[in-house]
Structure 1
Amino acid sequence: MAGNVFGNPVTDDIVRLIYPDKDVTPELRAEVAIQYMNADGRDVNCKEFVYNLKERYGNGISALCMIFNATGDNLTYVGYYDCHGHIYESPYPSLIQNGQWGGFLHVHPTAWTAGSESAVMYRGNNSAGDDRDWMLSWGIPFIGDNHAYTEIREAKHYEEDNWNYIKDLLESKSTSATDTWGGCYSSVTIGQGTSPEFVGIMSLDGVVTDSLAATFKTLAADSATQDKKE
């Protein structure tokens, strides 16, 4: 297991232990992954990892990013787009298996006064086996309020030059967003302050309930720390 992913994957064997009388489907694997979000301290371990990155980085605008795979299958990193800033020390997780958290720290550029504003993309499948790309984005401006935005589109959609459009969408949003498209679901939320937590959940359409979606929106709300903007 890579050092920036946390938790044992939720496999067919685990699903059968919980639901011995049901056929294992992608939706059922995704549902069990949601049940395992906090199992065995995987969420705590991911949080400790990104906070340790932050401690090593020190003062300055940064996004403490934690993303969870509840799609019922693997998610593979396929790219990023930096408007401002860059990844710090640990790379984006290359593979996040079902039921695992991935963590990373994104920091502002050192050469000039700008915040952390970026997007990361992961590829997986909907329940029919069609390729989909999840896009998760965040913005912590040098001046102004924080933003979070997410989309799901067909595979390779983000290889096209849509980034000015996406940047405008991101900067028009508040601190949380969701998307349901192509049989898939995504939710993102970011706290306030200059070094907040950013939490992203990637799943399938119909797996995440309204009450659970409301919980996602509050995950990072009280996580902010205030750093000097330098």
Structure 2
Amino acid sequence: MAYNAFGIPVTTETLERMSEYVGKTITHKDRAKVALDMKNAESKDVNAHQFVEQLKERYGNGVATLCLIYNATGDPLTYITSHDYFDHILYSPYAYTEIREPNHFDNTVWGVISDKMEKSGIHCEDVWNGCWSGVSIRDDTTTVYEGIMTLQDVAKFAP
């Protein structure tokens, strides 16, 4: 799994350089809104897509899901866990997202998640504790999973 970031992070300092935020107290919600508004700035989206496509080319023609997650939360994200459903969703792509508290997935029964995933279809979104996550998946010869994580109050993207 590759861990790569594209573009310049949206920080308090980023907003302080923007005319609409000069002299204003900058909040977590402000950073999240600007991050979501700048999702495609500086060709971040294009560069990220090209990167995962080139990564796939290096690994050959096997089964693969290319994952792109965009962080518009206003703060860093922490990668916690994954579960490999290899050979279980090959012919029916599903998009599923779930946001919960830290350690929630430590004792997860993955069959329950699998059942939710199969019911979700190709678009899914979740809201919990003021956070919003939306994902969509498309399938041709390689599945592409794209997600956006942000705050519930600034979510504009609807899968």
TM value normalised by structure 1: 0.64
Seq. identity, %: 43
How far is 1:7 from its partner? 1.1
1:55 matched to 2:57: yes
Query: Which secondary structure does the structure 1 equivalent of 2:81 belong to?
Result: strand
1:28 matched to 2:25: no
Alpha-carbon distance in 1 for matches of 2:90, 2:131: 33
Aligned to 1:5: 5
Alpha-carbon distance in 1 for matches of 2:45, 2:61: 24
The 5-angstrom pairing of residues 109-120 of structure 1 reads 114-115=87-88
Query: Which secondary structure does the structure 2 equivalent of 1:6 belong to?
Result: coil
Q: Which has the higher contact order (CA 8 A, sep 6+)?
A: 2
Aligned to 2:136: 189
How far is 1:37 from its partner? 0.8
Structure 1 or 2: more helix by fraction: 2
The number of residue pairs the alignment matches comes to 156
Aligned to 2:100: 153
Query: Which secondary structure does the structure 1 equivalent of 2:153 belong to?
Result: coil
Cα contact 1:60–1:194 (8 A) shared by 2: no
Structure 1 or 2: more strand by fraction: 1
From the superposition, tell whether residues 156 and 15 of structure 1 become closer, same or farther in structure 2 (CA, over 3 Å): same
After TM superposition, which residue ranges in structure 1, 4 or more long, deviate above 2 angstroms? none
Aligned to 1:15: 15
Alpha-carbon distance in 2 for matches of 1:70, 1:157: 22
Query: Which secondary structure does the structure 2 equivalent of 1:48 belong to?
Result: helix
Alpha-carbon distance in 2 for matches of 1:192, 1:173: 15
How far is 1:21 from its partner? 4.2
**1:167 counterpart letter in structure 2:** S
Alpha-carbon distance in 1 for matches of 2:48, 2:127: 26
RMSD: 1.7
Aligned to 1:45: 47
Out of 121, 142, 145, which is 2:90 matched to? 142
Alpha-carbon distance in 2 for matches of 1:67, 1:12: 21
Q: Which runs of 5+ in 1 are unaligned?
A: 85-113, 116-140, 218-230
Query: Which secondary structure does the structure 2 equivalent of 1:24 belong to?
Result: coil
